[in-house]
Chains A and B, each alone.
Chain A
Amino acid sequence: MIPFQFITAFLLMTMGIYALLYKRNLIKLVLALDIIDSGIHLLLISFGYRIEAGQIPTAPIYTGYETVKSAMVAPLPQALTLTSIVIGVCVLSLAMALTINAYRHYGSLDVNKLRRLRG
């Protein structure tokens, strides 16, 4: 059986890609990028936790080290996710800056209006 968090992650990614392909508002496109990233982060962080038999499943970021030593999760995915979130913030802020500039030049947030480059 596929764990539910994997399904959720892929659902998020699919939603993001759908929005990126079919939405026209630039801000919605920026949000779509963020949703794709969130899906990947969810997938990554859920790899860090493996549900062992006979133990109560907890949140993947919760270690539970004090009680059961074997229940400690791998720390690497959390580090990777944090790094990836920071990168995501950079991309997002740059995208918003470009969106503001596009609104200044084109007077619209419709991505179909950004069609002056041709050839």
Chain B
Amino acid sequence: MMLPYLIIIPLFGAFATPIVGLAGRKAREPWAIFITALTLGVAAELFYTVWKSGEILVYTLGAKSPLGQGVGFPIRIVWEVDLLGALFALMVTFIAFVAVLYSSEYMKHDTGLEKYYTLVLVLEVGMLGIAITGDLFNFYVFLEIMSIASYALVAFRNDTWEGIEAGIKYMFTGSLASSFILLGIVLLYGQYGTLTMAYLAKMIAENPTFTAKVALGLLAGGLLFKSGAVPVHMWLADAHPAAPSSISAMLSGLVIKIGGTYALARLAFSVFGMGVSTKTVGWIIILFACATLIVGNAMAIIQTDMKRLFAFSSVGQIGYILLGIGIGLAAYGSDVGNVALAGAIYHTVNHAIMKALLFLVAGAVIHQLGTKNLNELSGIARKMPVTSFAFLVGAAAIIGLPPLNGFASKWLIYESSALFNPFLAAIAIIGTAFCTAAYIRVLFTFFGRPSERVMNATEPGKAMLVPMLILVLAIIVMGLFPWVISEKVMIPAAKTLENAGAYVTALLGGA
């Protein structure tokens, strides 16, 4: 079974990086690229296995069976991977590989790079762990691994005040959110005496107490904090622009989704789905989603800092994903809910690719010109045509133009929200209008009249262009077969997430 290697390889790679770095400065970039490529291979294999068999893989740490000797309930830490977890593991490894490839040139002028690559790989471990875990405390540990690595990476350039200030803001809000999540887990443990998610789901279904609802509130609050939903999105707009661009791509593309919306969906469906009223929980998430959609996209319009604009746009896109999850919960079991959830999953994958591409473009501009102020970047398309083309594709995809991948996922969300409640569809369309306005503005800047500063610009090196082109290719290929992907991968993934009974049976057997 390949599943343990998904954690072993990047974890080993992370802590071997300083040792490899002793062999010379040239050694650690190929090492980090090699490790992330290997992890990508393992994740692809895992995804193919799970997708082909349609089963849920269960791996018990340290024993053959999760059940204790002589007792009928699980006592060990388990990893439980369904199609959704495998899909997100693949997404994480792909974006991490691209970001590391990009870093090999982008970070060339920084010092302390062995620490940088160690932290990047640790960040990847944390996200992969969240995607595959089936144990609540294990989930918390991986969440903290991910969070601590991302606090450190936001403040990586500690010679600038920007990184430090953003790091401190991110760290305090993030730690408070982690404390809420831990408190929720502790309350669940105190009530039910178990931490295995599948067994907990069964216990909550049998006896949903008030404590369980309080715990759900705390967990959901903490995870909404981590995903950057309005009204607690301010840290995101500070932290994501201040990080190095390759890290921004991972933070905006992956961290807020794996550690925010994915974990929220997993807890709401698989753990609490059978015990609490999904309608109420769904509507609460929908309310946050609507606020997030409008505020995030509207704030993006007025930004003059390119990376800050992209960060606010991330807030807006998280709104779409939350809307999909919320409708999926509120219309639990119906076709509308299924389509909405599939749209949310599809949009998560799409947005990871698009936003990673946009941040890599921003990084290329910063690397070549030393500024990210939109007022100084006029006419960059003349001097950096490939970069501008990558931006054009990314922006068109994030707006949702038909031949690209963003269209299909947004269409699924619009369609299901219109069927569920036309008012929500209207809000989603207004959000897209704001989003379009923000990106059109950047587009005009890029293709406008060249300014003084831009005249001397050149294209970045190959190590930065190739990752961008890989992502452009991914966007175009995914855009060519949107309905095939949606039928074959996204709808089954949504179905496995909705089918909480199967999640329990896979672990406990029988029943």
Contact = CB atoms under 8 A, between A and B. Distances in A.
Interface of A: 13, 17, 20, 26, 29, 33, 36-37, 40, 43-44, 47, 74, 76-77, 80, 83-84, 87, 90-91, 94-95, 98-99, 101-102, 105-106, 111, 114, 116-117, 119
B62 to A, nearest CB: 14
Contacts of B140: 84
B190 interface: yes
B51 to A, nearest CB: 33
A33 B161 CA distance: 23
B148 A94 contact: yes
A119 B305 contact: yes
B280 interface: no
Contacts of B167: 98
13 contacts: A29-B172, A33-B172, A33-B179, A40-B179, A40-B186, A47-B190, A84-B140, A95-B175, A98-B164, A98-B167, A102-B164, A102-B165, A119-B303
A95 B237 CA distance: 20
Contacts of A44: 186, 189-190
Contact of A47 (B141, B172, B179, B186): B186
B238 to A, nearest CB: 5
A106 B162 CA distance: 11
A45 to B, nearest CB: 10
Interface string B213-243: 0000000000000000000000001100010
Contacts of A74: 193
B71 to A, nearest CB: 13
Contacts of A17: 176
Interface residues of B, number: 38
B115 interface: no
Nearest to A90: B148
A54 B195 CA distance: 30
Chain A residues touching B, majority SS: helix
B152 A106 contact: no
Contacts of A95: 168, 171-172, 175
B176 A36 contact: yes
B161 A105 contact: yes
A5 to B, nearest CB: 12
Contact of B144 (A29, A76, A91): A91
Nearest to B303: A119
B137 A114 contact: no
B190 A43 contact: yes
5 closest cross-chain pairs (CB), A and B: A105-B161, A47-B190, A87-B144, A101-B164, A44-B186
B183 A119 contact: no
Interface in B155-190: 155, 158, 161-162, 164-169, 171-172, 175-176, 178-179, 182-183, 186, 189-190
Contacts of A99: 168
A114 B182 contact: no
B28 interface: no
A83 B141 contact: yes
A111 to B, nearest CB: 8
